[in-house]
Structure 1
């Protein structure tokens, strides 16, 4: 899933994918943030924060933080971040740059963009349609 942390459609897709993963532990989700690596991009602090949380051993923390972020009606980074403290380093900034470069190379034009096994979901499919193709 290529996502923008402030995209309301991405929040809806996140909830759907979360439900699928809970029902089928064989599914995996990789999230790529479409964010520029500079402070003027409001997406960057959220993406950087989640990437730093992903580096800790307890993956439940990043899962909880991700869910809490997307479940917010009014996205408030400062309030959300208080519940999920982390220490920042340059590695997260580098990851954001690499993800943005990949988005450019892959010609990602909008979020959320869904890829299944590395292939972009065709325009004539809705994500909800894939549920019927998944084995549980």
Structure 2
């Protein structure tokens, strides 16, 4: 049986000034690269936002100013879990994102009993390995 895989990353601090799809709102090269690759590979892509919770890369959102904390994560847990429950494997690209985002998504993944894969380090290290990571999970590309 083919596993249902989802790609997640943290939001970014710098944003465009007007509402846009989440994958285009953040000025982060990490987010924009993952958004484009998710489209190419046909893998669902979400951004963990301290302001909005877990948003699809295609979801229209407005600029905001918020940072993830343990308290904010607790507030968002139910909504995040609801969005992730349909997937078997959560692939989280960390990049240089704050640890609070990783801790939050990991906590939800554990509560859901989902397989959880983390890769990527600062300065977008390993971002080019997304295809390899997905392939190793048995993800079928378009």
The answer, yes or no, to whether TM exceeds 0.5 is no
Larger Rg: 1
Report which of the two has the higher share of helix.
1
What TM-score does the superposition give when structure 1 sets the normalisation length?
A: 0.29
What TM-score does the superposition give when structure 2 sets the normalisation length?
A: 0.28
RCO higher in structure (CA 8 A, sep ≥6): 1
